Amino acid sequence: MSDQQPEATNTADSGTTPVEYDPNRNRLVRKVLSGGREPDPRFSLANERTFLAWIRTSLALLAGGIAVEAFTGDLFSPVVRKLLGSSLLILGAAIAASAACRWVKIERAMRQDRPLPIAYWGPVLALLAAAAGLSVMITLWIQGLA
């Protein structure tokens, strides 16, 4: 009902009203992104690319988690191997979910001209990567000494 009403105005005065009518908006889209005004399309596309970059990070972590479980063999004890693999997978899933949340938040902020939300997952991931690298280095060093 609500999406038929703008169609009538479209046919009535074509060319004068700003483009706010999109028949492809389904219920999910209307629920997630409603209100405000349409942002600059360049910013929307940049937001989409940022989301995809995070998804690829998450996929890389997924591949890493599976690789730890499948390829390391007897390098670690089975419990350590499983914990390492599943923590990478959990981190990957968390990053994917937070990427989607952040995408929605940024899209809403742009629609309503609010400041963009802060990216707190970047520092977390950097710290975890640093810790992982450090722990590998220390492990190799201890193994070298022994």
Partner 1 sequence: MKRRIRRLYGFRPVRMLTARWRQPQRSTARRPIWVSLNIPIVEDPGLQPERTTMSWHRTTLALTVVALMFFRWYEVHGPIVLLPVVLTLLGGFGIQYSQRRRYYLQVLGIAREKVRADVVAVAWLTGLVVLVAAGGIVAIWV
Two tokens, residue 53 = 């970059």
Among residues 5, 67, 75, 123, the one that binds partner 1 under rule CB under 8 A:
67
Q: Round to whole Å and give the CA distance between 141 and 122.
A: 29
58 scored as a contact of partner 1 (CB under 8 A): yes
124 scored as a contact of partner 1 (CB under 8 A): no
- Give 11's Cβ-side CA count (13 Å radius): 4
25 scored as a contact of partner 1 (CB under 8 A): yes
Q: Round to whole Å and give the CA distance between 86 and 121.
A: 19
* Contacting range for partner 1; rule: CB under 8 A; set: 30-38, 119-127, 128-136, 138-146: 30-38
DSSP result, 26-51 = -HHHHHHS-SS----HHHHHHHHHHH
46 scored as a contact of partner 1 (CB under 8 A): yes
Among residues 5, 56, 123, 137, the one that binds partner 1 under rule CB under 8 A:
56
* Contacting range for partner 1; rule: CB under 8 A; set: 64-72, 115-123, 125-133, 134-142: 64-72
